[in-house]
């Protein structure tokens, strides 16, 4: 099965919504995004490509979010099943709000300038404060993620920044930190911002082995020790924490947002 995600914007919305629906079906899917489809020639070219693949026996679906009615008609006329992701939703929302929808190209996918600047600022903050690289700006943090090396701190910090505009610092808990009681001194003033990540020791061993095989750092014994110690630290200090082993970065971030009652930055 091949699936096209088509949009007059980034195609992220089409891909997210379409993928969410496809997740209910146990089928192998080849995915292709087609962003910024804004001209008739582009739409006709896409239609020709899709129809050719269908003629060659490819099972094909199209999920699309397009504002221009003419372009929608061209995509909808492809020789396959096509789904206008906004089409079935707009009419009942119009009735509920009592306001006619006025879609324009990329409007549904765009971002206000202030919001965009805020996201970039948050991303820069996450990069500058990754893995304890800097501790000078912790006052600015919305959250400080803790965890042993390779427990998911960096990708979660960046996802929180990119998707929610959250300034997320992260700090590695190392073997040296276990020799002293409580959280590291540099974190004590920010305890309300702390959130811990943990991971199953076996999975941690596998990840570290892929990076530094046959090292103490990657040994199963060291991984068990660090996980046991860091979870003990979280419990003793009453730091909320989450096991990241079987969760995607999206799921981790959503749970962190909820647990810490963080608010998406829209300004």
pLDDT for the residue 97 = 86
Rounded Cα distance between 91 and 231, Å, is: 50
pLDDT for the residue 153 = 96
Q: Given the structure tokens 């820069």, which residue do they identify?
A: 124
Residue 64 neighbours by CB distance under 10 Å:
26
Three-state SS sequence of 183-250: CCHHHHHHHHHEEEEECCHHHHHHHHHHHHCCCCCCCHHHHHHHHHHHHHHHHHCCCCEEECCCCCHH
What tokens does 182 get? 């409580």
pLDDT for the residue 108 = 47
pLDDT for the residue 112 = 53
Rounded Cα distance between 102 and 68, Å, is: 11
Judge contact between 106 and 8, C-beta under 8 A: yes
Annotated binding site for ADP: 147-154
pLDDT for the residue 266 = 56
Judge contact between 187 and 147, C-beta under 8 A: no
0.85 exceeded by pTM: no
Annotated binding site: 147-154
pLDDT for the residue 114 = 58
pLDDT for the residue 104 = 61
pLDDT for the residue 60 = 96
Look at residues 101, 97, 80, 72 and name the one whose alpha carbon lies nearest to residue 14: 72
Look at residues 27, 165, 14 and name the one whose alpha carbon lies nearest to residue 83: 14
pLDDT for the residue 210 = 92
**Dihedral sign for Cα atoms in the order 86, 92, 97, 102:** positive
Q: What is the pLDDT along the chain (267 residues), one digit of tens a residue?
A: 999 999 998 888 888 888 888 888 988 999 999 999 999 999 999 999 999 999 999 999 999 999 888 999 999 999 999 999 887 677 788 888 888 877 665 554 455 555 667 888 999 999 999 988 888 889 999 999 999 999 999 999 999 998 889 999 999 999 999 988 999 999 999 999 999 999 999 999 999 999 899 999 999 999 999 999 999 999 999 999 999 999 999 999 999 999 999 988 754
């Amino acid at each position: 099965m091949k699936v096209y995600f088509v949009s007059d914007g980034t195609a992220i919305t089409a891909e997210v919504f379409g993928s969410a629906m496809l997740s209910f079906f146990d089928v192998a899917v080849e995915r292709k995004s087609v962003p910024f489809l804004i001209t008739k020639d582009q739409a006709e070219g896409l239609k020709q490509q899709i129809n050719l693949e269908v003629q060659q026996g490819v099972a094909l679906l199209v999920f699309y979010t397009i504002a221009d009615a003419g372009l929608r008609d061209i995509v909808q006329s492809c020789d396959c099943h096509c789904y206008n992701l906004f089409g079935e939703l707009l009419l009942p929302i119009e009735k509920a709000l009592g306001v006619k929808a006025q879609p324009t190209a990329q409007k549904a996918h765009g971002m206000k300038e202030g919001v965009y600047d805020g996201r970039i600022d948050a991303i820069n903050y996450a990069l500058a404060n990754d893995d304890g690289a800097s501790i000078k700006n912790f006052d600015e943090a919305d959250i400080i993620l803790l965890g042993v090396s390779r427990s998911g701190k960096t990708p979660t910090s960046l996802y929180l920044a990119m998707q929610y505009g959250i300034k997320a610092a992260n700090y590695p808990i190392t073997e040296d930190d276990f020799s002293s009681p409580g959280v590291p001194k540099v974190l004590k003033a920010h305890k309300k911002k702390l959130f811990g990540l943990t991971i199953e020791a076996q999975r941690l061993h596998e990840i570290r082995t892929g990076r530094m095989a046959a090292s103490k750092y990657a040994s199963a014994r060291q991984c068990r020790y660090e996980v046991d110690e860091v979870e003990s630290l979280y419990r003793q200090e009453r730091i909320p924490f989450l096991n990241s082993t079987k969760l995607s970065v999206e799921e981790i971030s959503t749970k962190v947002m909820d647990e810490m009652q963080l608010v998406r930055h829209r300004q």
